[in-house]
Amino acid sequence: MIIVPATVEHWEVLSALAKQTFDETFGHIYTPSDLETHLNTKYTHDLMVAEIKSEIVYFLCNDDDAAARAPVGFFQLKPNSRNELMAVDEFADPCWELHRFYLTNATQGKGGGSLLMRFALEKLKEVGAKSLWLSVWSENFKAQHFYEKFGIK
Ligand SMILES: CC(C)(COP(=O)(O)OP(=O)(O)OC[C@H]1O[C@@H](n2cnc3c(N)ncnc32)[C@H](O)[C@@H]1OP(=O)(O)O)[C@@H](O)C(=O)NCCC(=O)NCCS
């Protein structure tokens, strides 16, 4: 597997992958119309381009077929992000958010998530991040277990 930076030219690839992985992960807990609204509003050209420009965004790609290099996962790290519950003395600046971290269903459980997370944590060190936070659904135990493994709790 290889890790490739996203540029604005990749906005459609990111949008499609974000939609696919959101649907695979959370599709079952939304009504069809709420899911459709979410998928149609959160991954538009303008939002994707703005996020790629302002965040650190990388793809995880299969490299077994060099020509295809299909993206199968991605992360987005958002700078200067905190929510109202986070005190500055507890979460020092610069504070970053792990905005999205997703692998396709077919890619999970084979070590790709760990590879991508180690890379993301290195990037945070490089940019001098002092704090990191993320949101995870209370019933997404797989992701919670995964994050805890990397000391994120
Ligand atoms: C959570 C996720 C990123 C983990 O990536 P992955 O490639 O499946 O994980 P890895 O194969 O590298 O495994 C790393 C660890 O993840 C956890 N994990 C992986 N599969 C798991 C499962 N089926 N059940 C519980 N924990 C699991 C374990 O802690 C595992 O450590 P171990 O190998 O020492 O047991 C991935 O499953 C994913 O993208 N899930 C859907 C999207 C999602 O929920 N994103 C988070 C939104 S907040």
Q: Answer whether 102 contacts ligand 1 (Cβ < 6 A).
A: yes
At residue 113, the 3 state secondary structure works out as helix
* Residue pLDDT, tens place only, 6-61: 999 999 999 999 999 999 999 999 999 999 999 999 999 999 999 999 999 999 99
Say yes or no: CB of residue 111 within 6 Å of ligand 1: yes
- Phi, psi of 74, deg, nearest 5: -165, 160
Give the pLDDT mean for 89-108: 95
Q: Which atom of ligand 1 is nearest to the CA of 135?
A: 48
Give the domain ranges of the chain: 2-149
Domain spanning 2-149, CATH architecture: 3-Layer(aba) Sandwich (3.40)
Greatest Cα pair distance in the chain = 48
Q: Look at residue 125 and tell me whether its pLDDT is greater than 70.
A: yes
Do the beta carbons of residue 96 and residue 79 sit within 8 Å? yes
